[in-house]
């Protein structure tokens, strides 16, 4: 990592979300710095998806704050967050099924952070995004008939087309083969290298540790640990959460 | 996109404009050749149905928000135009005013109802529509249930009405075709397919639905105004009637929902057939519409246009083999 710390792009402070009596996320604080791939992992029910939805704006927190570029975005709807430079992918893909791949991405260019009105210009920029994500050959295919892997790429292309500062990726490798997963992680790295900060949630610990610069571990809605992949893999608390107490002791 | 495919797009767009232009010329010349008042009247009504059908499709087809309440706009437009014409103002100022007042009413309807989604929105529009009808039935200065008469101190010229309706239908189709290929139209289509996904890429579903509703309301209101001037007498059970709402919804479904030309075909077919059906089966014509609606939804959700496209695809496929 660079010694001069890059500035934080997202600051989350004491974020809490209650569903009835249950605290799905409790007092979670962290910072995502520019140019990172920031991952979070945790066992089932740890609150990953809830935390993700709070940052994307699909859910409202019970308390706490989320600052983007120093501006509090709690209460902002997802479409307003897009204008702030925060875009997301969906764990269960949600393409506009009756549109072509190109049209799907074109809409995102029209309505993204630097929104474009001219249809021709929007199509050009959409084509460029499709090439970057590697699905330009499918431009005129209807989104409904793509394979799962292609649809996951379309999700990323559509989110990228809004020209975000911060890209939120929700389990983009779920259901993919090993080769597809590797290609997807390579894509994430290339997105980061082009200057977009990435926040990445995944079930697959291997995928997360392979690609992330920094990782946060959640357990029972609370932050358990945070650090570099090496640090996380050797943290006894993390091992205990994943593998049980005896495994942690034998380490 | 490469420049050659952009050029192709241009050519195909120009080709797409040929048939509508020919049809427009035909309908401009037709009454002069036939000079049949009866056919003129039938076509006049058909043009108005096409206008409302195209208008409904902007909200119901492009945006996916099914409304059972378009009689509100038709009626508001009709009464607005009627009041203005009776005040001695030119009808050609009354029609835009009818559109404007319907658009304003659409915003008033939108604000509460677009808090609801899908079927709940549809049900709410029925409630609003019926409430407006009941209120208009009891408002005294427009004659309440016994209706309202429009008096113009100029001789009646049927062709003037005919061309007004034709122009309005042409405007409605042009607006619809234009919307379909702009940023606005893409936003609407995204909302129809997945409102949350649309929001996640920066589309504000609420304001976009509001705008689509206003455009659709304005066009429908103008159609109501043109109708009121022709009919010279309007009453709440007619222009505000639930049957008017159902007719406006039925036409785009028959023709092909969500397309530019489907609602035009639907409006054309409905306009020409409707009177015959009402005359031949006065007791059960609504039942026939119901059966037709069920048949379309079950067997050909794409309507007439969807069916034709499938047929054309099959013929082309056979020729190739």
Report the b/e string of B62-101 with b at 16+ CB within 10 A. Answer: bbbbbbbbbbbbbbbbbbbbbbbbeeeeebeebbebbbbb
Asked if residue A128 lies in contact with residue A174, where contact means CB atoms within 8 angstroms, the answer is no
Whose CA is closest to A102, among A153, A141, A132, A152? A141
String of DSSP letters for B70-118: THHHHHHHHHHHHHHHHTT--HHHHHHHHHHHHHHHHHHHHHHHTTS-H
Domains along chain A with CATH numbers: 1-81+190-199+210-227 (3.40.50.300), 86-163 (no CATH)
Confidence of residue A2 (pLDDT cuts 50, 70, 90): very low
Query: What pLDDT, on the 0 to 100 scale, is given for residue A234?
Result: 87
- Asked if A111's CB is within 8 angstroms of B203's CB, the reply is yes
User: Residue A96 is nearest to which of B182, B197, B205, comparing CB atoms?
Assistant: B197
Residue B304 tokens, joined:
């007439």
Residue A67 tokens, joined:
């600052």
B2 touches chain A (CB under 8 A): no
Domain boundaries, chain B: 34-253
Average pLDDT over chain B, rounded to whole?
Answer: 91
Query: What pLDDT, on the 0 to 100 scale, is given for residue A250?
Result: 58
Burial class (CB in 10 A: 0-12, 13-18, 19+), A136: middle
ipTM of the complex: 0.89
Confidence of residue A157 (pLDDT cuts 50, 70, 90): very high
Query: What pLDDT, on the 0 to 100 scale, is given for residue A51?
Result: 92
- The mean per-residue pLDDT over the stretch B157-177 comes to 96
Mind listing the pLDDT tens digit for each residue in A75-91?
899 999 999 999 999 98
Mind listing the pLDDT tens digit for each residue in B230-256?
999 999 999 999 989 999 999 999 999
Mind listing the pLDDT tens digit for each residue in B184-211?
999 999 999 999 999 999 999 999 999 9
- Asked if B1's CB is within 8 angstroms of A97's CB, the reply is no
User: Residue A106 is nearest to which of B186, B198, B202, comparing CB atoms?
Assistant: B186
Integer Cα distance of B264 and B285 in angstroms:
22
Mark which residues 45-74 of B lie under 8 Å from A by CB.
none
- Asked if B194's CB is within 8 angstroms of A107's CB, the reply is no
For residue A72, count other CB atoms closer than 10 A to its CB: 12
Confidence of residue B316 (pLDDT cuts 50, 70, 90): confident
Residue labelled with tokens 């649809």: A151
B183 touches chain A (CB under 8 A): yes
Query: What pLDDT, on the 0 to 100 scale, is given for residue A245?
Result: 63
Examine the pLDDT at B300 and tell me if it is beyond 70.
yes
| Top-ranked range on mean pLDDT: pick from A6-15, B91-100, B280-289 | B91-100
Integer Cα distance of A89 and A152 in angstroms:
8
Q: Which of A80, A98, A108 is the mutation pick for testing B, counting most B CBs within 10 A?
A: A108
R_g over Cα of chain A: 18
Average pLDDT over chain A, rounded to whole?
Answer: 90
Confidence of residue B140 (pLDDT cuts 50, 70, 90): confident
Examine the pLDDT at B5 and tell me if it is beyond 60.
no
Confidence of residue A248 (pLDDT cuts 50, 70, 90): low
What is the number of residues in chain B? 321
Residue B73 tokens, joined:
């706009």
What residue ranges in chain B does DSSP mark as E strands?
148-149, 233-234
First-residue to last-residue Cα distance in chain A: 27
- The mean per-residue pLDDT over the stretch B297-309 comes to 88
Examine the pLDDT at A246 and tell me if it is beyond 70.
no
């Amino acid at each position: 990592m660079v010694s001069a710390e890059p500035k934080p792009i997202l600051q989350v402070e004491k974020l809490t979300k209650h569903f009835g009596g249950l605290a799905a996320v409790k007092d979670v604080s962290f910072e995502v710095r520019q140019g990172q791939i920031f991952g979070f992992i945790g066992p089932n029910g740890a609150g990953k998806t809830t935390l993700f939805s709070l940052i994307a704006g699909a859910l409202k927190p019970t308390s706490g704050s989320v600052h983007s570029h120093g501006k509090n975005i709690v209460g902002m709807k997802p479409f307003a967050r897009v204008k702030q430079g925060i875009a997301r992918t969906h764990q269960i893909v949600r393409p506009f099924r009756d549109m072509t791949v190109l049209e799907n991405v074109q809409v995102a260019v029209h309505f993204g952070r630097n929104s474009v009105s001219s249809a021709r210009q929007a199509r050009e920029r959409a084509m460029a995004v499709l090439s970057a994500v590697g699905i330009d050959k499918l431009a005129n295919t209807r989104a409904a008939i793509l394979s799962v892997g292609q649809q996951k790429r379309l999700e990323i292309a559509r989110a990228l087309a809004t020209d975000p500062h911060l890209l939120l990726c929700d389990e983009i490798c779920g259901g993919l083969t090993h080769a597809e997963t590797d290609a997807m992680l390579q894509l994430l790295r290339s997105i980061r290298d082009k200057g977009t900060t990435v926040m990445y949630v995944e079930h697959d610990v291997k995928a997360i540790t392979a690609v992330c610069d920094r990782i946060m571990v959640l357990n029972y809605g609370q932050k358990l640990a945070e650090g570099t992949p090496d640090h996380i893999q050797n943290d006894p608390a993390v091992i205990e959460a994943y593998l049980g107490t005896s495994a942690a002791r034998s380490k | 996109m490469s420049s050659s495919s952009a050029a192709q797009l241009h050519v195909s767009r120009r080709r797409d404009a040929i048939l509508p232009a020919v049809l427009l010329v035909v309908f401009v010349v037709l009454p002069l050749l036939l000079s049949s008042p009866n056919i003129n009247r039938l076509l006049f009504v058909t043009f108005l149905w096409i206008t409302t059908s195209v208008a409904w499709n902007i909200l119901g087809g492009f945006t996916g928000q099914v409304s059972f309440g378009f009689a509100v706009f038709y009626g508001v437009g009709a009464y607005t135009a009627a009041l203005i014409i009776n005040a001695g103002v030119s009808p050609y100022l009354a029609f835009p005013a009818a559109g404007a007042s319907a658009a304003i009413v659409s915003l008033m309807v939108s604000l509460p109802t677009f808090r609801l989604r899908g079927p709940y929105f549809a049900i709410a529009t029925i409630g609003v529509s019926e409430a407006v009808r009941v209120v208009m039935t009891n408002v005294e200065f427009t004659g309440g249930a016994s209706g309202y008469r429009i008096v113009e101190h100029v001789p009646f010229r049927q062709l003037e009405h005919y061309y007004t309706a034709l122009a309005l239908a042409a405007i409605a189709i042009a607006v619809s075709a234009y919307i379909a290929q702009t940023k606005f139209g893409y936003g609407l289509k995204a909302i129809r397919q997945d409102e949350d996904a649309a929001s996640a890429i920066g589309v504000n579903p609420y304001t976009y639905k509001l705008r689509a509703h206003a455009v659709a309301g304005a066009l429908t209101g103008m159609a109501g105004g043109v109708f009121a001037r022709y009919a010279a007498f309007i009453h709440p059970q007619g222009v505000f009637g639930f049957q008017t709402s159902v007719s406006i919804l039925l036409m785009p479904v028959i023709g092909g929902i969500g397309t530019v030309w489907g609602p035009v075909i639907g409006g054309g077919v409905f306009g020409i057939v409707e009177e015959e059906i009402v005359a031949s089966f006065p007791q059960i014509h609504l039942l026939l519409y119901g059966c037709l609606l069920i048949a379309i939804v079950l067997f050909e959700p794409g309507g007439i246009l969807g069916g034709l496209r499938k047929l054309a695809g099959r013929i082309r496929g056979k020729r190739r083999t």
